[in-house]
Structure 1
Amino acid sequence: MSIEVGSKLQGKVTGITNFGAFVELPEGATGLVHISEVADNYVKDINDFLKVGDEVQVKVINVESDGKIGLSIKKANESENKAASSSRPPRSGKPQRSPRPPRKPMENFESKMSRFLKDSEENLASLRRNTESKRGGRGAKRG
């Protein structure tokens, strides 16, 4: 089975980096699933979704001339979800809304400002510590 754009394959995660995961495909080829192609929602840490040794279904999204293979877990699962949802009969009544995330209580201006000032002071103190150590400390004589 050759690796062509649009084909779905089963693979095994062989390595994880901060920008994506390497997946070993049939015939010994290796492709990269970029972090943006792991899930439908935002992925801050890929380790929350994948581990080395996981078996995953991927879709080939591009094959470059130098042999690099671009893969997507998101698109492989997307077509399965569409097929499953299209087999259901349509619901009658009100249109379905997507669930909203729970709301945080409104924060007043004073509390926002005090939190901002506290964070700013901490950042400035950290910056001062780092720059002073690089200049030789406080009151270092030059000459």
Structure 2
Amino acid sequence: MSIEVGSKLQGKVTGITNFGAFVELAGGTTGLVHISEVADNYVKDINDHLKVGDEVQVKVINVEKDGKIGLSIKKASDTYREPQPRPTQSTQRPNNNQQRSSQRPPRGKREEFRPKENFEQKMARFLKDSEDRLSSLKRNTESKRGGRGARRG
């Protein structure tokens, strides 16, 4: 029997780790149920939900090329509902704050317009700042290194 994504199968828990449970499926293949796929709510300790030898119904959520099989117990239950995608910004209705902000002119520093610097101006400013910092760093480190003359004893 080939294992396909989306199929629901019966399996037996063969091992439990802190990150999930290994479930043996028909045909001797083993898949992993990640701890996040055990129950609909937050699972702190997987041992509270499963133990070795339990028979569980699982849904195949992925099959990787190297043969690893990802399983889900929560998606196999009949009560599970896929989460609905959240509406994007373009489909959402703007709230009152967004409506007001588009109606009033900007305040404060936004009104002051500063012309953009071109690349050469930015580079010149960066070089000047860099040289100032470097010279003060050299001044501070040279005074600490020399001049005192360490005594040899």
Deviations 1:1-45 (A, max 9, x none): 210000000000000000000000000000000000000000000
Structure 2 counterparts to residues 58-77 of structure 1, below 5 A: 58-77=58-77
The aligned counterpart of 1:46 is 46
Q: CA deviation at 1:82?
A: 6.0
Identity of aligned residues (%): 88
TM-score of the superposed pair, with normalisation by structure 1: 0.55
Conserved? CA contact 2:63–2:69, under 8 Å: yes
Distance 2:18 2:28 in 1: 23
Check 1:32–1:82 CA distance in 2 against 1; reply closer, same or farther (3 A cut): closer
Partner of 1:81: 79
Task: Report the counterpart of residue 19 of structure 2 in structure 1.
Answer: 19
Q: CA RMSD in A?
A: 1.3
Query: 5+ residue gaps in structure 1?
Result: 84-143
Letter in 2 for 1:45: D
Distance 1:57 1:12 in 2: 9
Task: Measure the CA separation in 2 of the matches of 1:5 and 1:38.
Answer: 17
In structure 2, runs of 5+ residues without a counterpart are 82-153
Letter in 1 for 2:66: D
Shift, 1:72, TM fit: 0.1
Q: Is the 8 A contact 2:74 2:80 kept in 1?
A: no
- Measure the CA separation in 2 of the matches of 1:8 and 1:82: 13
Give the structure 2 partner of residue 31 of structure 1: 31
Secondary structure of residue in 1 paired with 2:59: strand
5 Å matches for 1:47-126?
47-77=47-77, 80-81=78-79
- 1:70 offset after TM fit, Å? 0.1
Aligned AA for 2:60?
Answer: V
Residue of structure 2 in register with 1:4 after alignment? 4
Measured in 2, the distance between the counterparts of 1:42 and 1:66 equals 29
